[in-house]
Structure 1
Amino acid sequence: MNGLQELGWNVTAPQGSFFAWLKVPEGMSSQEFASTLLEKAHIMVAPGIGFGTFGEGYVRVGLLTTEERLAEAVRRISSLGIFKKHIDN
């Protein structure tokens, strides 16, 4: 979660779950974002819409792997340049 936050993605760590629900970038549907991650970064997430209408706007990410693999996923997401870190002046 820290790595994603450093990219500028406003995420919150799950409380007692092996899955995280992460808000998709503005202007994208959950399906579009999931497809982008799969096609361009080779990362599979579940589009929230598959869990009902309240899931739209989010993707569900499994955290059931090693920290090394999760760090690799963060690097791949970073390479897409989707999230820009906002710096306050």
Structure 2
Amino acid sequence: MLCEGFSNLGWPIAKPEASMFIWSRIPDHYDTSEQFAMDLVTQAGVIVTPGSAFGPSGEGYVRFALVQDKETLQQAILSVDNSGMLREKTTNL
């Protein structure tokens, strides 16, 4: 459900075969996994672990722990959508 929900928002996340964790590449308009993770918390109230916490190979990814109930995961998808943070950042000239 989480992978499908975020994929429908334009953030494609591959569905794992069997795991309590989901790894996803950060959106292209973010430079670091830490910045994206911080924005998820401050703008959408969603907590993930930045991939950089697992070493240099994790940079560019975030990890979700699938430990919440269905309703909470649905709310996370809605909160991220409402935050607008998945849309490309643009500059006004």
TM-score by length of 2: 0.84
Q: What is the alpha-carbon distance in structure 2 between the residues aligned to residue 57 and residue 27 of structure 1?
A: 11
Q: What is the alpha-carbon distance in structure 2 between the residues aligned to residue 27 and residue 56 of structure 1?
A: 14
Task: Please list every run of at least 4 consecutive aligned residues from structure 1 whose deviation after the TM superposition is greater than 6 angstroms.
Answer: none
1:9-64 CA distances to partner (integer Å, 9 max, x unpaired)? 11101221100001111132100000000111111110000001110000000111
Percent identity of paired positions between Structure 1 and Structure 2? 36
- Give the CA RMSD over aligned residues: 1.1
Q: What is the alpha-carbon distance in structure 2 between the residues aligned to residue 54 and residue 12 of structure 1?
A: 18
Q: What is the alpha-carbon distance in structure 2 between the residues aligned to residue 31 and residue 62 of structure 1?
A: 16
Q: Are 1:83 and 2:80 an aligned pair?
A: no
Runs of at least 5 residues in structure 2 that lack an aligned partner in the other structure: 88-93
Q: What is the alpha-carbon distance in structure 2 between the residues aligned to residue 13 and residue 72 of structure 1?
A: 19
Q: Are 1:72 and 2:75 an aligned pair?
A: yes
